[in-house]
Amino acid sequence: MNVRHFLSFSDLSGSEVRQIIQRATELKRQTRAGIAQDHILRGKTLGMIFEKSSTRTRVSFEVGMLQLGGHALFLSPRDTQLGRGEPIEDTARVLSRMVDSVMIRTYEHEKIERFARFATVPVINGLTDHEHPAQLLADLQTYTEHRGDIGGRRIAWIGDGNNMCNSYILAARQLGFTLAAACPEGYDPDPRIVAAAGDALELVRDPAAATRDADLVVTDVWASMGQEDEKSARRQAFTGFLVDSGLMALARPDALFMHCLPAHREEEVTTDVLEGPQSVIWDEAENRLHAQKALIEFLLTGS
163 is an annotated ligand-binding site residue: yes
For every residue of 193-204, DSSP letters joined together read HHHHHGGGEEEE
Burial (0-12, 13-18, 19+ Cβ within 10 Å), 97: exposed
91 is an annotated ligand-binding site residue: no
Query: How many Å apart are CA 231 and CA 118, to the nearest integer?
Result: 36
Query: How many Å apart are CA 49 and CA 258, to the nearest integer?
Result: 27
220 is an annotated ligand-binding site residue: yes
224 is an annotated ligand-binding site residue: yes
**What residues act catalytically?**
105, 132, 135, 220, 260, 288
Phi/psi at 105 (nearest 5 deg)? -120, 110
Strand 101-105 with 123-127, pairing: parallel
183 is an annotated ligand-binding site residue: no
29 is an annotated ligand-binding site residue: no
Beta carbons of 267 and 235 less than 8 angstroms apart: yes
Query: How many Å apart are CA 284 and CA 251, to the nearest integer?
Result: 19
279 is an annotated ligand-binding site residue: no
288 is an annotated ligand-binding site residue: yes
Strands (E), 144-194: 154-158, 178-182
105 is an annotated ligand-binding site residue: yes
227 is an annotated ligand-binding site residue: no
Query: How many Å apart are CA 27 and CA 231, to the nearest integer?
Result: 39
54 is an annotated ligand-binding site residue: yes
114 is an annotated ligand-binding site residue: no
Q: What angle do CA 65, 70, 75 make, to 5 degrees?
A: 70
81 is an annotated ligand-binding site residue: yes
Query: How many Å apart are CA 219 and CA 194, to the nearest integer?
Result: 18
Q: Which residues contact 257 (CB under 8 A, 6 or more apart)?
A: 216, 217, 218, 243, 248, 269, 273, 274, 276, 278, 279, 280, 281
Provide the annotated binding site for L-ornithine. 163, 220, 224-225
Provide the annotated binding site for carbamoyl phosphate. 54-57, 81, 105, 132-135, 260-261, 288
Provide the annotated binding site. 54-57, 81, 105, 132-135, 163, 220, 224-225, 260-261, 288
